[in-house]
Structure 1
Amino acid sequence: MPERIAPDLDERGSLITPIIVALFVIAGGGLWFYSDELKAKLQPARPVTAFQNQHAGVYERLGVASLPVDFERTNTNATRLLDQLRREPCDGEAILPLVKLMSQGGYPREAATSALKFGERCGQKADLLEHAYHSLVRVRDLSGAVNAASELIKIDQARGRYRYLRGFAHEELKNFKAALSDYVSTLQLFTSLSNVAVSEFYRVSRMYAALGRPCDAITPLEIYLSYDVAKRQTTQLSQLIKEYANSGDCRATYASGSDKILIPPSNIISVTINGAQGRMIVDTGASMVALSPSFASRARVMPDESNLMTFQVVGGTVQSAPGNAQLMEVGNTRAANVPVAISIGNASAYGPGIDGLLGMTFLARFNVTLSGGALELKPRDLN
């Protein structure tokens, strides 16, 4: 008896088997067609270090082999600039944008290192050094910032801004003597002190105070006031001067005596320092009394050559060391403990037979009138 077929199934040949076979054939063809794409997708992801490998030599030359790899992976501009430096290691147009990208990307230390290393190999550039300086200040590497600013000063001795930058780093390090020298240099390198903002004078004043020299701290403020007392005298400045005067008991020695001294056309007058007589040019544009080395020696004024200052003179700049005149006398006027600057390595910095400049660290202690060929001096009131 023939086997009975289940009632719900057709007695005709089943279609299931050929359909399954067809599906396998189609799937196999698809796998063959997309095999390359699948292989690529199944490959391990390209390691992020691969982005750096092609520029390993560039990073090594810049001293930042440890720069996080995602910097280049996520920044196509960085890749382009690194390519430029790979082809031309001293490409000056590529390095500054690159270090700026490093800083913006959160790598200021690497930016500073790259800028400095590039400068060592290819020649220092002011814009690169200044970027390195600010990056180092940002990460509080203040000693490194001092070094970067010193390199800037080597590029341009007459640029007051570079002195200010180094002075700021010294001040942050609490190296107040060095900061004072740089801030005084900043002042002296201005073309005209009469146009300088009060903040520049206050920095110098603040450094004197930090060094425990309150009487000297008065003078920068008096210099600022001297150019236009009526407009510049404020309650705050008067109070600050009074506090310094009280702190140092300055009134008895700061300035005394009055006189009216005839000035010849040469502007040269006789000045006595610690008993030694010299010939000095009256110069209200000089922030400090300046002495030649020979006059300083005769007057027994010792230079502090560890913190040199830069002063602008006719024909260029001169390096000067800070010193202190115990007693200065001009006619019948006198002042004690006057900060001075002693020129270094230039015996005739102020001209043949000239012993220095009678500058504002003396003159600002007095009310000064220059008219009719005469210099009139009257002590300023510190109250």
Structure 2
Amino acid sequence: MLNSSPNKISLTALPPLALYIHFPWCEKKCPYCDFNSHQIKDGIGKSGFDEARYIKVLIADLETELPRIWGRQVHSIFIGGGTPSLLSPAAMDELLCAIRARLNLEPDAEITMEANPGSVETEKFSAFAKAGINRVSLGIQSFQDDQLKALGRIHTGEQAKHAIDIALQHFKSVNLDLMYGLPNQTLEMAKADIETALLFNTPHLSFYNLTLEPNTYFANFPPHLPSEDEVDAIFEQNLALLSNAGYQRYEVSAYAKKNQECKHNLNYWRFGDYIGIGAGAHGKISFPDKITRQVRERHPETYMQAMESKGNALIEAKEIPAKDLPFEFMLNALRLTNGVATNTFSERTGLPLSVISHGLSEASKKRLLDDNPSQLKATPLGLRYLNNLQEMFLD
């Protein structure tokens, strides 16, 4: 039975488990990017980074996690960055073979790799597929050269189209990352990007609003962006285009054909567990009586040195206080357009639903939360003001 105390959790079953691997290097740091990515430098092999060393410490990092997840099956792998496609196919194969030897990996597990559309990476797609990658997420952002230049991207619109063609030949699933609200973007320019993307009929699309994140070049030297009303118009226009083309919006920024949702990201949004290895990686692992988080050293060199000298690169390892779990759960679950079943809250947090009763009541009164008692689901108004809705569940 679920523990009725709001200060003590009790999980009757552990959630699904995934693996995230962070690759921290890229060819060029984009001016809007606040991810843990570092521009490669000349002088360290042909690639500009010590590939063999990084793969070795990744495998060692994974081994430190094995006692905490022993016997549990891993349902998905996501290799993000940075630009993981900068790895050689041989290094990718070595990494995935090491993972299979150490984890109980689901036979048809979704294995995603992020990639940029540059020609060097696309030439390697066949070999990546043979190594076991079955889903690729391409950082397209725009098909218009002027927009790509404004975003600091190093590929062209034609290279993006070529990369999509190659990816569709080799991978079971392909996602295209697109952005809107770009510098000086008009309604017509945004429409052209979506219409170009739709020509490829990929199973999945991500559609992000460009925001000025702290500690980025754009935050210090902001470009001229469309007004809030113009951004809203672009979103509504392109939402209709995507819907008419058979894409369902299943998360704030994610759209998929039927049964083509990203399994790995769904696990995040449903408050599942994930091992996180690599520079700056975060992890979340549940136990019957607690839920824990870990954070690793952020800088690649510091991360590798810590793994080599101490055998781990943790800078934080803690149990999540019970009082923080409701907000963390709702922060993720309310991003899903269909929300989650109400009983998922207790299943994933180990807490009674009563701990969020006040927030649920207030959100319903403001018409931000659906009235269906069997679902925790934002209304269209709630999705529009998602930050306000999520904040209602802060301790």
The TM tier, using the shorter chain, reads: under 0.3
Structure with greater strand percent? 2
Structure with greater helix percent? 1
Greater C-alpha radius of gyration: 1
